[in-house]
Amino acid sequence: MADLSRQIKRLETVPLRHAFPDEARHLTPWLAKNLDALCERLDLQFSLVQQEKAVGDFRLDLFCQDADGQKIIIENQVEPTDHDHLGKLLTYLVNLDAKIAIWITSDPRPEHQKVVEWLNEASPNDTSFYLVKVEAIKTGDDIISPLFTVLAKPDEQSKKIGQEKKDNSQQFSDLWIKFWILLLSNKSIKQTEFADNNPKARNHLSSPSGVPNSWFSFSVNNNDSYVYLTFKFEDDVKTERVFDALTKQKKEIESTFGEPLIWSPQRGSLWPWIGKKFAKQGLQTPEAWPKLQDEMIDAMIRLNKVLRHRLHEAVSSSRVEV
């Protein structure tokens, strides 16, 4: 029987940086000469048009094209993936009007793989993104060959998921428009500052309180709704001072309003708010919208009545410049 051990060569993985000390002078030319191996792994057919193609002040590693004239960009790096190369990949794709973007790296970070997967879901059907891990493999001799492993690529499932997300987003937009049209047609809305508002495809509808950088708002989500006052001034200390001044009147405010309110200080970068929540009532119960909106408008009228002048007084007494 033949000695098979003599016919089988041991493969050795060489650190990419050791094999290619410089990305532009060594790795890019090597990849350019081994595009056939990459095409085979990606199940695509394309050829090199230009190496180090100028795009403004940047340079794309490999600019390619398939038999139909479709433009393909390839960005490669020796080090782990980073935000800089991700940004360049998108810059080249847009500026060269390419439809396929291939990101090749020795060490793909999981966070960037998720971004590529998301891009395949969110992008149009004719745009594709690939994330490919490259390793340098050496046999018993000194010849180094590429080993490509595709970690992220477009497929029917990802495009389907992306389309479903877009459809859901459109569905919510349509529901918000319908909800606000119905609310603004309610005869009681004329008693509020919202009478002249226009419906928009978003989850909130706001009206100025009379104090700069503060608003009374309606908000509706999938399963809950709110009416509230929110404000945020240029200085966070001033914002907290006004909120604290109103909080000191909490007992009197809630007594006048007629029921407890939610007091959310939202310290830091978030906007504090004071308001009422309508739990388990939202976009997904359209049959209950008329009753819900009656209650929301009634709550808004009461909230406006009890908080508008107190907000002005709190700003004035706290000597807050807004």
CATH of the domain at 56: 3.40.1350.10
Q: How far is CA 230 from the centre of its chain?
A: 25
- pLDDT tens-digit readout, 202-246: 899 999 999 999 999 999 998 999 999 999 988 888 899 999 999
Is residue 124 located within the same domain as residue 239? no
Confidence of residue 303 (pLDDT cuts 50, 70, 90): very high
Number of neighbours of residue 207 by Cβ within 10 angstroms: 17
Residue 251 predicted with pLDDT over 60: yes
End residue of a domain, out of 92, 122, 154: 154
End residue of a domain, out of 119, 154, 189: 154
DSSP H or E run through 152: strand 144-152
Q: Which residue has the tokens 């793989």?
A: 113
Give me the pLDDT at residue 248, please. 95
Domain that holds residue 298: 169-317
SS3 315: helix
SS3 170: helix
Q: Which residue has the tokens 């793909």?
A: 108
Residue 292 predicted with pLDDT over 50: yes
Q: What is the DSSP string of 9-24?
A: PPPEEEPHHHH-SSII
**Residue from 307, 180, 171, 295 nearest 246 by CA:** 307
Report the b/e string of 146-180 with b at 16+ CB within 10 A: bebeebbbbeeebbebbeeeeeeeeebeebbeebb
DSSP H or E run through 122: helix 110-122
Tell whether 159 is covered by a domain: no
d(CA 312, CA 106): 60
Please give the average per-residue pLDDT across 117-139, as a whole number: 86
Is residue 200 located within the same domain as residue 269? yes
Confidence of residue 73 (pLDDT cuts 50, 70, 90): very high
Is residue 298 located within the same domain as residue 176? yes
Q: Helices 110-122 and 156-184 meet at what angle, rounded to 10?
A: 70
Tell whether 322 is covered by a domain: no
Query: Would you state the structure tokens that stand for residue 272, as one six-digit string?
Result: 């504090």
Global pTM reads 0.53
Is residue 312 located within the same domain as residue 175? yes
- pLDDT tens-digit readout, 8-37: 566 778 888 878 888 888 889 988 988 998
Q: Which residue has the tokens 């000390």?
A: 21
Partners of 13 in the β-ladder: 137
Is residue 137 located within the same domain as residue 183? no
